[in-house]
Amino acid sequence: MTLRRRITLALTGVSALLLTAPGVAAAIEVNKDFKPQNEFRLDPWVSINIGPFDMSINKAVMYLILTCIFTTVTMVWVAKRMEQKPNRVQTAVEAAYIVMRDNIAGGNMDTKTAKRWFSFVATLFLFIWFSNMLGYIPLPTNTEHTVNVFGIDLPTFAIYAATANLAVPLALTLMVWFAYHFEGIRAKGPVRYLKGWVPAGVTGPAVAPIFLIEVISHFVRVVSLSVRLFANILAGHLLILFMGGGLAVLLGLEVVGVFTLPLAIAFYIFEVGLVGTLQAFIFATLASIYFGGAVAEEH
Protein backbone atom coordinates (compact mmCIF):
# COMPACT_ATOMS: atom_id res chain seq x y z
CA MET A 1 0.00 0.00 0.00
CA THR A 2 1.42 3.33 -1.02
CA LEU A 3 1.93 6.21 1.41
CA ARG A 4 -0.66 8.28 -0.44
CA ARG A 5 -3.26 5.53 -0.11
CA ARG A 6 -2.52 5.16 3.63
CA ILE A 7 -2.96 8.88 4.19
CA THR A 8 -6.24 8.85 2.23
CA LEU A 9 -7.61 5.93 4.29
CA ALA A 10 -6.56 7.59 7.55
CA LEU A 11 -8.24 10.87 6.63
CA THR A 12 -11.37 8.99 5.55
CA GLY A 13 -11.48 7.12 8.86
CA VAL A 14 -11.04 10.29 10.89
CA SER A 15 -13.74 12.06 8.86
CA ALA A 16 -16.17 9.17 9.35
CA LEU A 17 -15.45 9.14 13.08
CA LEU A 18 -16.11 12.88 13.36
CA LEU A 19 -19.33 12.57 11.38
CA THR A 20 -20.69 9.66 13.42
CA ALA A 21 -19.55 10.92 16.85
CA PRO A 22 -22.58 13.17 17.44
CA GLY A 23 -24.95 10.33 16.52
CA VAL A 24 -23.17 7.84 18.77
CA ALA A 25 -23.14 10.34 21.64
CA ALA A 26 -26.85 10.97 21.19
CA ALA A 27 -27.57 7.23 21.20
CA ILE A 28 -25.77 6.68 24.49
CA GLU A 29 -28.03 7.19 27.47
CA VAL A 30 -26.06 8.12 30.55
CA ASN A 31 -27.03 6.27 33.71
CA LYS A 32 -27.94 9.16 35.98
CA ASP A 33 -28.54 6.87 38.95
CA PHE A 34 -24.87 5.91 39.04
CA LYS A 35 -22.90 8.48 41.02
CA PRO A 36 -19.22 7.49 41.29
CA GLN A 37 -18.53 10.34 43.73
CA ASN A 38 -20.62 8.46 46.30
CA GLU A 39 -17.81 5.92 46.58
CA PHE A 40 -15.94 8.58 48.57
CA ARG A 41 -18.90 9.85 50.58
CA LEU A 42 -18.50 9.32 54.32
CA ASP A 43 -21.81 8.19 55.74
CA PRO A 44 -21.72 8.00 59.57
CA TRP A 45 -21.88 4.44 60.87
CA VAL A 46 -21.97 5.54 64.51
CA SER A 47 -22.99 9.17 65.05
CA ILE A 48 -20.93 10.96 67.69
CA ASN A 49 -21.32 14.73 67.98
CA ILE A 50 -19.46 16.64 70.68
CA GLY A 51 -20.59 20.26 70.48
CA PRO A 52 -19.68 21.59 67.03
CA PHE A 53 -17.33 18.65 66.37
CA ASP A 54 -18.49 15.64 64.37
CA MET A 55 -16.62 12.63 65.78
CA SER A 56 -18.75 10.04 64.01
CA ILE A 57 -17.33 6.64 63.10
CA ASN A 58 -17.29 6.11 59.34
CA LYS A 59 -15.22 4.14 56.85
CA ALA A 60 -12.41 6.72 56.86
CA VAL A 61 -12.09 6.31 60.62
CA MET A 62 -12.16 2.54 60.20
CA TYR A 63 -9.34 2.69 57.64
CA LEU A 64 -7.30 4.90 59.97
CA ILE A 65 -7.78 2.44 62.82
CA LEU A 66 -6.81 -0.47 60.57
CA THR A 67 -3.73 1.41 59.36
CA CYS A 68 -2.61 2.08 62.94
CA ILE A 69 -3.15 -1.58 63.84
CA PHE A 70 -1.29 -2.86 60.76
CA THR A 71 1.62 -0.45 61.30
CA THR A 72 2.00 -1.21 65.00
CA VAL A 73 1.49 -4.98 64.83
CA THR A 74 3.80 -5.36 61.85
CA MET A 75 6.62 -3.38 63.44
CA VAL A 76 6.30 -5.26 66.76
CA TRP A 77 6.20 -8.58 64.92
CA VAL A 78 9.26 -7.68 62.86
CA ALA A 79 11.15 -6.47 65.93
CA LYS A 80 10.57 -9.80 67.66
CA ARG A 81 11.86 -11.72 64.63
CA MET A 82 15.24 -10.00 64.46
CA GLU A 83 18.01 -12.62 64.37
CA GLN A 84 21.78 -12.71 64.13
CA LYS A 85 21.44 -14.42 60.78
CA PRO A 86 18.91 -12.34 58.80
CA ASN A 87 15.94 -14.11 57.26
CA ARG A 88 14.04 -12.83 54.24
CA VAL A 89 11.70 -10.64 56.29
CA GLN A 90 14.58 -9.15 58.25
CA THR A 91 16.54 -8.48 55.06
CA ALA A 92 13.58 -6.58 53.55
CA VAL A 93 13.05 -4.63 56.79
CA GLU A 94 16.73 -3.71 57.03
CA ALA A 95 16.66 -2.51 53.40
CA ALA A 96 13.64 -0.31 54.17
CA TYR A 97 15.35 0.96 57.33
CA ILE A 98 18.47 1.94 55.37
CA VAL A 99 16.34 3.82 52.83
CA MET A 100 14.54 5.71 55.61
CA ARG A 101 17.72 6.40 57.59
CA ASP A 102 20.16 7.27 54.81
CA ASN A 103 17.99 8.56 51.96
CA ILE A 104 14.93 10.09 53.56
CA ALA A 105 16.24 11.41 56.91
CA GLY A 106 20.03 11.35 56.67
CA GLY A 107 20.12 12.71 53.14
CA ASN A 108 18.15 15.84 54.00
CA MET A 109 18.99 16.63 57.64
CA ASP A 110 22.24 17.03 59.54
CA THR A 111 23.27 14.16 61.78
CA LYS A 112 21.97 15.67 65.01
CA THR A 113 18.56 16.60 63.59
CA ALA A 114 18.24 13.26 61.79
CA LYS A 115 18.77 11.36 65.05
CA ARG A 116 16.22 13.54 66.79
CA TRP A 117 13.48 13.30 64.15
CA PHE A 118 14.19 10.01 62.38
CA SER A 119 11.50 8.13 64.32
CA PHE A 120 8.89 10.75 63.44
CA VAL A 121 9.76 10.79 59.73
CA ALA A 122 10.00 6.99 59.54
CA THR A 123 6.60 6.66 61.22
CA LEU A 124 5.12 9.08 58.69
CA PHE A 125 6.51 7.02 55.82
CA LEU A 126 5.28 3.70 57.23
CA PHE A 127 1.86 5.04 58.23
CA ILE A 128 1.22 6.56 54.79
CA TRP A 129 2.55 3.44 53.05
CA PHE A 130 0.32 1.10 55.05
CA SER A 131 -2.65 3.42 54.49
CA ASN A 132 -2.05 3.51 50.74
CA MET A 133 -1.55 -0.26 50.47
CA LEU A 134 -4.63 -0.99 52.57
CA GLY A 135 -6.59 1.25 50.22
CA TYR A 136 -6.12 -1.26 47.37
CA ILE A 137 -7.56 -4.22 49.30
CA PRO A 138 -11.31 -4.64 48.63
CA LEU A 139 -13.21 -4.50 51.91
CA PRO A 140 -16.98 -4.57 52.68
CA THR A 141 -17.36 -0.82 53.16
CA ASN A 142 -19.81 0.21 50.43
CA THR A 143 -22.98 0.94 52.44
CA GLU A 144 -24.75 2.49 49.44
CA HIS A 145 -25.00 -0.86 47.64
CA THR A 146 -25.73 -3.84 49.88
CA VAL A 147 -26.06 -7.57 49.33
CA ASN A 148 -28.62 -9.70 51.19
CA VAL A 149 -27.08 -12.69 52.96
CA PHE A 150 -29.51 -14.85 54.95
CA GLY A 151 -31.84 -11.87 55.38
CA ILE A 152 -29.08 -9.49 56.47
CA ASP A 153 -28.08 -6.54 54.25
CA LEU A 154 -24.29 -6.43 54.19
CA PRO A 155 -22.11 -3.76 52.53
CA THR A 156 -20.56 -4.72 49.21
CA PHE A 157 -16.81 -4.75 48.62
CA ALA A 158 -15.05 -1.55 47.60
CA ILE A 159 -11.61 0.04 47.72
CA TYR A 160 -10.98 3.19 49.68
CA ALA A 161 -7.95 4.87 51.25
CA ALA A 162 -7.88 7.18 54.25
CA THR A 163 -5.34 9.30 52.39
CA ALA A 164 -7.95 9.85 49.65
CA ASN A 165 -9.75 12.02 52.22
CA LEU A 166 -8.12 15.45 52.35
CA ALA A 167 -8.54 15.69 56.14
CA VAL A 168 -5.97 12.92 56.73
CA PRO A 169 -3.10 14.30 54.58
CA LEU A 170 -3.90 17.77 55.95
CA ALA A 171 -3.60 16.55 59.56
CA LEU A 172 -0.28 14.85 58.79
CA THR A 173 0.95 18.00 57.04
CA LEU A 174 0.04 20.23 59.97
CA MET A 175 1.98 17.89 62.26
CA VAL A 176 5.04 18.30 60.03
CA TRP A 177 4.51 22.06 59.68
CA PHE A 178 4.36 22.78 63.40
CA ALA A 179 7.12 20.26 64.17
CA TYR A 180 9.74 21.73 61.82
CA HIS A 181 8.98 25.29 62.99
CA PHE A 182 9.33 24.08 66.57
CA GLU A 183 12.69 22.47 65.73
CA GLY A 184 13.93 25.61 63.99
CA ILE A 185 12.99 27.82 66.94
CA ARG A 186 14.48 25.32 69.39
CA ALA A 187 17.76 25.19 67.49
CA LYS A 188 18.19 28.90 66.74
CA GLY A 189 15.79 30.84 68.92
CA PRO A 190 12.74 32.69 67.55
CA VAL A 191 14.55 35.87 66.40
CA ARG A 192 17.42 34.12 64.66
CA TYR A 193 15.08 31.59 63.10
CA LEU A 194 12.87 34.30 61.58
CA LYS A 195 15.94 36.24 60.44
CA GLY A 196 17.04 33.13 58.58
CA TRP A 197 14.01 33.45 56.34
CA VAL A 198 15.78 36.32 54.57
CA PRO A 199 18.75 35.15 52.45
CA ALA A 200 22.19 36.43 53.41
CA GLY A 201 23.17 39.59 51.53
CA VAL A 202 19.63 40.95 51.22
CA THR A 203 19.45 44.36 52.89
CA GLY A 204 17.45 47.58 52.81
CA PRO A 205 13.92 47.83 51.39
CA ALA A 206 14.17 44.39 49.78
CA VAL A 207 14.06 42.66 53.18
CA ALA A 208 10.31 43.19 53.75
CA PRO A 209 9.00 41.73 50.46
CA ILE A 210 11.48 38.83 50.58
CA PHE A 211 10.40 38.02 54.13
CA LEU A 212 6.72 38.23 53.11
CA ILE A 213 7.33 35.84 50.19
CA GLU A 214 9.02 33.40 52.56
CA VAL A 215 6.06 33.59 54.96
CA ILE A 216 3.68 32.84 52.10
CA SER A 217 5.86 29.94 50.93
CA HIS A 218 5.64 28.31 54.36
CA PHE A 219 1.84 28.46 54.27
CA VAL A 220 1.81 27.19 50.68
CA ARG A 221 3.69 24.12 51.91
CA VAL A 222 0.60 23.15 53.89
CA VAL A 223 -1.43 23.11 50.68
CA SER A 224 1.17 21.52 48.41
CA LEU A 225 2.20 18.74 50.78
CA SER A 226 -1.33 17.69 51.70
CA VAL A 227 -2.95 18.08 48.27
CA ARG A 228 -0.13 16.20 46.52
CA LEU A 229 -0.77 13.06 48.56
CA PHE A 230 -4.56 13.42 48.54
CA ALA A 231 -4.87 14.13 44.80
CA ASN A 232 -2.59 11.29 43.67
CA ILE A 233 -4.32 8.65 45.77
CA LEU A 234 -7.81 9.93 44.89
CA ALA A 235 -7.00 10.06 41.16
CA GLY A 236 -5.66 6.51 41.23
CA HIS A 237 -8.78 5.17 42.92
CA LEU A 238 -11.03 7.04 40.48
CA LEU A 239 -9.15 5.60 37.49
CA ILE A 240 -9.49 2.07 38.86
CA LEU A 241 -13.19 2.68 39.61
CA PHE A 242 -13.99 3.98 36.13
CA MET A 243 -11.88 1.51 34.17
CA GLY A 244 -12.97 -1.42 36.34
CA GLY A 245 -16.61 -1.05 35.34
CA GLY A 246 -17.70 2.40 36.39
CA LEU A 247 -17.56 3.77 32.86
CA ALA A 248 -19.57 0.83 31.49
CA VAL A 249 -22.24 1.34 34.16
CA LEU A 250 -22.29 5.09 33.60
CA LEU A 251 -22.79 4.72 29.85
CA GLY A 252 -25.00 1.63 30.10
CA LEU A 253 -22.77 -0.23 27.62
CA GLU A 254 -21.43 -3.55 28.86
CA VAL A 255 -19.13 -3.88 25.84
CA VAL A 256 -17.11 -0.92 27.10
CA GLY A 257 -15.96 -3.05 30.03
CA VAL A 258 -14.19 -5.44 27.65
CA PHE A 259 -11.82 -2.64 26.66
CA THR A 260 -11.52 -0.84 30.00
CA LEU A 261 -10.97 -3.87 32.29
CA PRO A 262 -7.40 -4.52 31.04
CA LEU A 263 -6.67 -0.84 31.67
CA ALA A 264 -8.09 -1.16 35.18
CA ILE A 265 -5.77 -4.09 35.90
CA ALA A 266 -2.81 -2.13 34.54
CA PHE A 267 -3.72 0.94 36.62
CA TYR A 268 -4.16 -1.25 39.72
CA ILE A 269 -0.72 -2.82 39.33
CA PHE A 270 0.82 0.59 38.68
CA GLU A 271 -0.83 2.11 41.76
CA VAL A 272 0.12 -0.76 44.08
CA GLY A 273 3.59 -1.27 42.65
CA LEU A 274 4.71 2.34 42.38
CA VAL A 275 2.33 5.17 43.29
CA GLY A 276 1.45 4.05 46.83
CA THR A 277 5.10 3.70 47.86
CA LEU A 278 6.27 6.74 45.88
CA GLN A 279 3.76 9.07 47.54
CA ALA A 280 4.79 7.88 51.01
CA PHE A 281 8.44 8.40 50.05
CA ILE A 282 7.82 11.90 48.66
CA PHE A 283 5.83 13.00 51.72
CA ALA A 284 8.49 11.77 54.17
CA THR A 285 11.32 13.20 52.05
CA LEU A 286 9.73 16.64 51.84
CA ALA A 287 9.15 16.57 55.60
CA SER A 288 12.86 15.81 56.08
CA ILE A 289 13.81 18.65 53.73
CA TYR A 290 11.70 21.07 55.77
CA PHE A 291 13.38 19.92 58.99
CA GLY A 292 16.80 20.24 57.40
CA GLY A 293 16.03 23.74 56.12
CA ALA A 294 14.68 24.87 59.47
CA VAL A 295 17.99 24.20 61.28
CA ALA A 296 20.43 24.95 58.45
CA GLU A 297 22.74 27.87 59.17
CA GLU A 298 22.21 29.47 55.78
CA HIS A 299 18.44 29.65 56.31
Residues 6+ apart with CB under 8 A from 207: 198
CA separation, residue 179 to residues 18, 52, 236, 238 (Å)? 56, 27, 30, 33
**Portion of the chain with pLDDT greater than 70, in percent:** 86
Mean pLDDT, residues 165-186 taken together: 95
Q: What is the pLDDT of residue 299?
A: 52
Convert the pLDDT of each residue in 73-120 to its tens digit: 988 888 787 777 777 878 888 888 899 999 999 999 999 999 999 999
More confident: 34 or 65:
65
Split at pLDDT 50, 70, 90, the class of 220 is very high
What is the rounded CA–CA span in Å between residue 284 and residue 279?
A: 9
pLDDT of residue 146: 73
**Confidence class for position 27, pLDDT limits 50, 70, 90:** very low
Q: What is the mean pLDDT of residues 21-42?
A: 59
- For 136-161, the three-class secondary structure string (H helix, E strand, C coil) is CCCEEEEEEEEEEECCEEEEEEECCC
In the chain, where the domains are located: 29-295
- Quickly state the pLDDT bin for 22 (edges 50, 70, 90): very low
Q: Check residue 6 and give its pLDDT.
A: 52
Position 145 pLDDT exceeds 60: yes
- Separation in Å, CA 41 to CA 59, 60, 160: 9, 10, 10
What is the average pLDDT value for the chain, to the nearest integer? 83
Question: What residues does 53 pair with on adjacent strands?
Answer: 50
pLDDT tens digits, one per residue of 268-282: 999 999 999 999 999
> In terms of Cα–Cα distance, which of 221, 220, 57, 237 is closest to 164?
237
